[in-house]
Amino acid sequence: MTTTYFNEMYDGGAVRPPYARLQDWMQSMPAELRQMKQAEAETLFRRIGITFAVYGEGGDPDRLIPFDMFPRVFLQEEWRRLERGIKQRARALNAFLVDVYGRGEIVRAGRIPSRLVYRNEAYEKAVAGFVPPRGVYSHIVGIDIVRTGPNDFYVLEDNCRTPSGVSYMLENREIMMRMFPGLFQSNRIEPVDGYSDLLRRTLASVAPAKCDRDPVIVILTPGHFNSAYYEHSFLADLMGVELVEGADLFVEHGFVWMRTTEGPKKVDVIYRRIDDSFLDPLCFRPDSMLGVPGLMDVYRSGGVTICSAPGAGVADDKAVYTFVPDMVRFYLGEEPILQNVPTWQCGKADDLKHVLANLPELVVKEVHGSGGYGMLVGPKATKEQIAVFADRIKADPGNYIAQPTLALSTVPTFVDEGVAPRHVDLRPYCLVGERIELVPGGLTRVALTEGSLVVNSSQGGGVKDTWVLAE
């Protein structure tokens, strides 16, 4: 059976309105120029240092994410609908976090099973009963969205802890403007370069109660061996804040201090890019060398804000994901603007039976998995791979969810043979503080292999610039 995919540029033989001015640009670019521009983009990425590492693999530890020069384009009206849905979802997810670390009303009402919350490995008892400044647990929400038709958008998953990739969103735009200035003169494209100002404003707006001056903000990184270290340093430079490691910070007199050449300096807001378990060896993993001893005591006493808050990960668990539409209704009294992908929880007997009977047609994911690992794409798998994965699911059903194989939309992409459609997704970055804001755009990831539906960079995916056309 042949699956029909929605092509975002073409409607039959006609060019859809968002791409009207790209047709001539694409057709008039000779192969030699395209190859030269592609090499130029790769040189710029390498020179700037936009690389990532894949843990456990040999070869180049500083690998370039492939950059595709063909932009993805949204009309303003398409973006406005997405923006409303993203903000709605971010509000509901934060309301859920405040609730489950407080009275747990949604559990009491029977809208979500208690085991999915309180037995979840991402649930941090250390912050139970604590309400962070402005009631915000997840300050940067990355919501992965896929498209299947002109008006059909679905949320694939929520990232409430430390969603990465925003540096690619910003650098993709910078490089496109440098290489193709004429495109930006002939198209009115909403800017994304205000992201760093919005991020700094968001972080400052959630300064702790004990902060009585302009807050001092730092980014806490695990160090330069981390796969996203470039992004950590990039954002610190853009915001004009210090990039620190755990050893640069210490706790004294109920506050967090940063070691500087001019003596200790009090820190008010920590944008952390390390996992909960490594934040404080006195509260979480005692063997952590990445965190700050005593940090959680200061946090709970209102002496420092941690963004995103410890424990936020319970909201982006893939089993909890299935209940987000219910969260929207329960906390906001609204109908969800963006729908979930239909999902089966293998921990339920009926769902497990359905999944095992239909593995060749489904995508199966680990509940806590990420990066495209620990998953099965049934239509692309061999019989042997399906049999092995079935055994894994039977051994630990609660660790897996399954979804139908969606007909992800395609966008024209430059490949060796010329231009061809490739599948894409979208990760916008929603900032939650005093206000809920996001820049018009996001990170478009593209599956560069023909027929592939896996867009993750760790699995060979690439990135594109994402345009929202101004009215």
The CATH number assigned to the domain holding 360 equals 3.30.1490.270
310 shares its domain with 448: yes
Confidence check: pLDDT of 311 > 80: yes
Positive or negative CA dihedral for 80, 470, 457, 408?
positive
Cβ count near 271 (within 10 Å): 26
Q: Which domain holds residue 245?
A: 209-303
219-239 mean pLDDT: 93
Alpha-carbon distance values, 308 to 94, 142, 177, 357 (Å) = 11, 12, 32, 39
368 shares its domain with 278: no
12-38 mean pLDDT: 89
325 shares its domain with 289: no
230-253 mean pLDDT: 97
Can you give the pLDDT at residue 441? 96
- Write the pLDDT tens digit of every residue in 405-416: 888 999 999 988
Q: Sort residue 135 into left (φ over 0), alpha (ψ -120 to 50) or beta.
A: left
Q: Is residue 4 part of a domain?
A: no
Last residue of a domain, one of 357, 379, 404: 404
- What beta strand segments (E) does 339-398 contain? 339-340, 344-345, 362-366, 375-377
Residue 65 banded pLDDT, cuts 50, 70, 90: confident
Among 287, 133, 264, 277, residue whose Cα is nearest residue 211: 133
**Among 131-145, 196-210, 295-309, 444-458, whose mean pLDDT is lowest?**
444-458
Q: Is residue 172 part of a domain?
A: yes
279 shares its domain with 316: no
Q: Is residue 2 part of a domain?
A: no
- Write the pLDDT tens digit of every residue in 108-129: 999 999 999 999 999 999 999 9
- Write the pLDDT tens digit of every residue in 372-427: 567 888 888 888 999 999 999 999 988 899 999 888 999 999 988 788 999 999 99
The CATH number assigned to the domain holding 290 equals 3.40.50.11290
171 shares its domain with 106: yes
21-39 mean pLDDT: 89
350 shares its domain with 445: no
222 shares its domain with 109: no
Per-range mean pLDDT, top range of 2-6, 82-86, 224-228, 453-457: 82-86
Provide the number of structural domains found in the chain: 3
228 shares its domain with 285: yes
